[in-house]
């Protein structure tokens, strides 16, 4: 029996820690299904300020995850065979677009959870109140982690980009 060619299969784990056993061709549909389920589940969030914040966060959460995944694929191309490496101008454009999306959706997400003791104003506040550790008060840790993951993906591309 012929040995299975694993050259098209990614290794490692999905962002949620699940093992990644699927070929590349099925990775995107699996991730899309995961985030589609998240979006569908958002309608069940309670009609409370916290539930409203999570419902409003869905597009930004999905966008940041998509940016991080796309930048991860860019790193793979930058580390791969020279023939598959994108041009510097394309990398620069991708980083610029990613930076704009990350900044935009970070502002949106941070504005959805007002600092403790404040009532939601309906307008995202661009300068969130910070705790001594630097984490915005009231913003769920998972949201902060997601923003950090997207910014880390930018840094990973920068580390792979020739000067």
**Residues in the chain, pLDDT under 50:** 1-16, 18-25, 116-133
Going from the C-alpha of 142 to that of each of 4, 42, 48, 110, 163, the distances in angstroms are 38, 16, 19, 12, 34
Structure tokens at 37: 């389920």
Domain ranges for the chain: 57-160
Number of H helices, E strands in the chain: 4, 0
Q: Could you report the per-residue pLDDT of 17-37, keeping only the tens digit for each?
A: 544 444 444 555 666 677 677
């Amino acid at each position: 029996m012929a040995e299975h060619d694993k050259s098209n299969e990614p290794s490692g784990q999905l962002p949620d820690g699940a093992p990644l056993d699927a070929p590349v061709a099925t990775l995107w549909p699996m991730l899309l299904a995961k985030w589609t389920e998240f979006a569908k589940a958002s309608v069940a969030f309670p009609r409370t300020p916290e539930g409203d914040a999570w419902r409003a966060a869905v597009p930004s959460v999905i966008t940041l995850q998509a940016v991080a995944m796309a930048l991860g694929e860019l790193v793979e191309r930058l580390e791969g065979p020279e023939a598959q490496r994108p041009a510097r101008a394309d990398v620069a454009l991708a980083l610029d677009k990613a930076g704009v999306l990350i900044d935009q959706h970070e502002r949106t997400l941070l504005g959805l959870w007002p600092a403790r003791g404040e009532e939601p104003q309906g307008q995202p506040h661009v300068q969130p109140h910070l705790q001594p550790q630097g984490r915005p008060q009231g913003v769920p840790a998972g949201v902060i982690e997601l923003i950090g993951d997207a910014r880390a993906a930018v840094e990973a591309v920068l580390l792979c980009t020739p000067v």
